[in-house]
Amino acid sequence: MLSQIPVNTLWDEAISNLRKNELLRLNSCFHVKEYKAGELLFSAGEIGTAVYVVGTGQVRLYYLSGDGEEFTQGVWASGHVMGLISTLLQKEYSVFAVCHTQAKVKVLCGTNLFELMHEIPQFSFNISKVLARMANRNLRDRGLFALDSAVIRVIRVMLNSIEMKNDKSHNNIYTVDLSQDELAKMVGVGRPWINKILSGLEDGLLILRGRRQIQVLDLYGLLNLVGKIPDR
């Protein structure tokens, strides 16, 4: 049985060091929405009016090329924050957000976000740290994706998309709900390369492939290959 590895998510950063009454105030401003797989949260071009925090399930972020083809930016699981920059700046969302699986998402409207940042100095400070972390991740990933091998890029995408579930014996299992075509678009290589890379990882007993799903058999092994804890 795989043990659960703690992941310091963006939302963990946003609520760190808050007092109990501050957490209660914060939670009172959220409303939880349940989405079906394929349901849209927001669209590119819409003015940012709310921040979304993934509770359960997975949300896919993508953008459209000039000819209308979808390119997946990432598939994110519990604790990932979306729409923060657009809502703070009151600018347009730059991507589409659609539920990759059935999901529960916490939604905080922009008005409440500004009120909370004004009322709770620690929360405001935390949000600035979240923004810095997001900027650093974007810079890092752009640089690493240019330098990393395709194998490492595939593993990074899988780690960011990973979700923990329970099997019939109530053991913790880690899955990545992505097809090979989706992985290929996210990594920027052809499907034959993805198939070859996944075959190698499967031969090494790191993963087990299924239909539109990859089960991670050795999470520590994947982490050791890239030398990092998944960053959400």
Whether 4 maps to a domain, the answer reads no
Domain match, 50 and 123 both: yes
Task: State whether 100 and 184 are in the same domain.
Answer: no
Is a pLDDT exceeding 90 seen at residue 223? no
pTM of the model: 0.70
Do 122 and 204 have their domain in common?
Answer: no
Q: Does 11 score more than 80 pLDDT? A: yes
Place of tokens 């935390």: 126
Considering the domain architecture, whether residues 152 and 191 belong to the same structural domain is answered as yes
* pLDDT, tens only, 67-84: 777 888 778 888 889 999
Confidence band, pLDDT 50/70/90 cuts, at residue 147: very low
Confirm whether 190 is domain-assigned.
Answer: yes
Residues 89 and 192 in one domain: no
- Same-domain check for residues 156 and 96: no
Answer yes or no: is 3 within a domain: no
Give the model's pLDDT for residue 131: 92
pLDDT at residue number 24: 96
The number of domains in the chain is 2
pLDDT digits 0-9 by tens, 84-95: 999 999 999 999
Q: Are 55 and 80 in contact (CB under 8 A)?
A: no
User: Is 100 in the same domain as 27?
Assistant: yes
Q: Tell me the average pLDDT of the chain.
A: 84
In-domain check, residue 232? no
H helices present in the chain, as ranges: 10-15, 20-29, 84-89, 110-119, 121-147, 150-160, 180-187, 191-203, 219-226
Residue 44 is part of a domain; what is its CATH number?
2.60.120.10
pLDDT level of residue 15 (50, 70, 90 thresholds) = very high
Q: What is the CATH number of the domain that holds 176?
A: 1.10.10.10
- Per-residue pLDDT at 48 exceeds 90: yes
Domain boundary among 84, 112, 138: 138
Kindly list the strands in the beta sheet with 70-76, ordered across the sheet, starting from the edge strand earlier in the chain. Answer: 40-42, 96-99, 59-64, 70-76
Render pLDDT for 111-127 as a digit per residue (tens, 0 to 9).
Answer: 999 999 999 999 999 99
In a domain, 26, yes or no: yes
Are both 126 and 204 inside the same structural domain? no
- CA 190, 73, 197 angle in degrees (round to 5)? 35
Are 191 and 212 in a shared domain? yes
In the predicted model, is pLDDT for residue 31 greater than 80? yes
Residue 94 forms part of a structural domain: yes
Pick from 166, 186, 136: nearest CA to 13: 136
Specify the pLDDT at position 166: 55
Range of the domain at 75: 10-138
Domain boundary among 96, 120, 138: 138
Question: Same domain, yes or no, for 118 and 158?
Answer: no
Average confidence (pLDDT) over 203-227? 85
Question: Which of 75, 110, 138 is the endpoint of a domain?
Answer: 138
Residue type, 83: G
List pLDDT tens digits, range 160-205.
Answer: 788 766 555 556 678 888 888 888 888 777 888 888 889 988 988 8
* 43 and 112 share one domain: yes
Give the lowest-confidence range in 2-11, 20-29, 96-105.
Answer: 2-11
